C-alpha cells in the first residue's frame, strides 16, 4: 500500500476546554448588568443630596407632596390647600431638623406649582428634597 500508517491517520483527542468563548460571554453579561443597574437604582431625580459626618444620626422623616394636573395639593396623600400645605411644612420642619421632602407631580401639572412647592419648603427650612419620576 502507499505508505499510510496507522499512527498518521489518527489524531489525539481534545485534552483541554477552550474557555475563550465563555469568558467573552461572561464579560458581555457583566457589562450589560452594570449598565442596567444604574437605571434600576436611580428612580428619582435628586435635587440636593443629604450630607452627614457620621452614620449614627437619627433617620430623617420623609414627607410627600403631590401636585395634580388641576393644581391641587396632597400632603402625605391627604388633600390640602396652599395655606394648609404651608402649615404642614412648617410643623414638619419644627418637629425635626432633618426632614426629607419628596415632590410628586402629574406630567401635565404646571411647572410653576412644582416650583412653588419647592420654594415653600425652602422658606420653612426644608432643604433636602427629591422630585419623584416614573421610569419609562
> Over the stretch 103-116, which tens digit does the pLDDT of each residue have?
888 888 888 888 88
Q: Report the distance separating Cα 136 and Cα 122, nearest Å.
A: 30
* Dihedral of alpha carbons 62, 75, 112, 97, sign: negative
Asked whether residue 35 is domain-assigned, the answer is no
Q: Which residues have C-beta within 8 Å of that of residue 127, sequence separation ≥ 6?
A: 48, 121
Domain with 117, as residue range(s), is: 44-51+58-132
Asked if residue 2 has pLDDT above 70, the reply is no
Count of structural domains, the chain: 1
pTM of the complete model: 0.54
Instruction: Report if residue 79 sits inside a domain.
Output: yes
Residue 94 falls within a domain, yes or no?
A: yes
Q: Residue 86: give its domain's CATH number.
A: 3.30.420.270
31 in a structural domain: no
| Residue 119: inside a domain | yes
pLDDT at 7: 53
Convert the pLDDT of each residue in 74-97 to its tens digit. Answer: 998 889 999 999 999 889 888 887
Within-domain flag for 2: no
Tell me if 66 sits within 8 A of 95, measured CB to CB.
Answer: no
Q: What is the DSSP letter of 125?
A: T
Residue 73 lies in a domain: yes
Instruction: Answer whether 103's CB lies under 8 Å from 129's CB.
Output: yes
Mean pLDDT of the chain: 79
**Would you say residue 72 lies in a domain?**
yes
Amino acid at each position: 500500500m502507499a505508505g499510510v500508517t496507522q499512527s498518521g491517520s489518527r489524531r489525539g483527542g481534545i485534552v483541554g476546554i477552550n474557555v475563550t468563548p465563555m469568558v467573552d460571554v461572561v464579560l458581555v453579561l457583566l457589562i450589560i448588568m452594570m449598565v442596567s443597574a444604574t437605571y434600576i437604582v436611580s428612580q428619582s431625580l435628586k435635587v440636593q443630596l443629604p450630607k452627614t459626618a457620621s452614620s449614627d444620626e437619627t433617620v430623617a422623616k420623609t414627607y410627600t407632596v403631590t401636585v395634580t394636573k388641576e393644581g391641587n395639593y396632597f400632603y402625605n396623600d391627604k388633600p390640602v390647600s396652599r395655606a394648609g400645605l404651608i402649615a404642614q411644612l412648617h410643623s414638619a420642619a419644627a418637629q425635626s431638623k432633618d426632614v426629607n421632602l419628596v415632590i410628586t407631580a402629574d406630567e401635565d401639572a404646571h411647572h410653576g406649582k412644582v416650583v412653588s412647592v419647592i420654594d415653600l419648603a425652602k422658606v420653612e427650612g426644608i432643604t433636602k428634597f427629591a422630585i419623584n419620576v416614573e421610569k419609562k
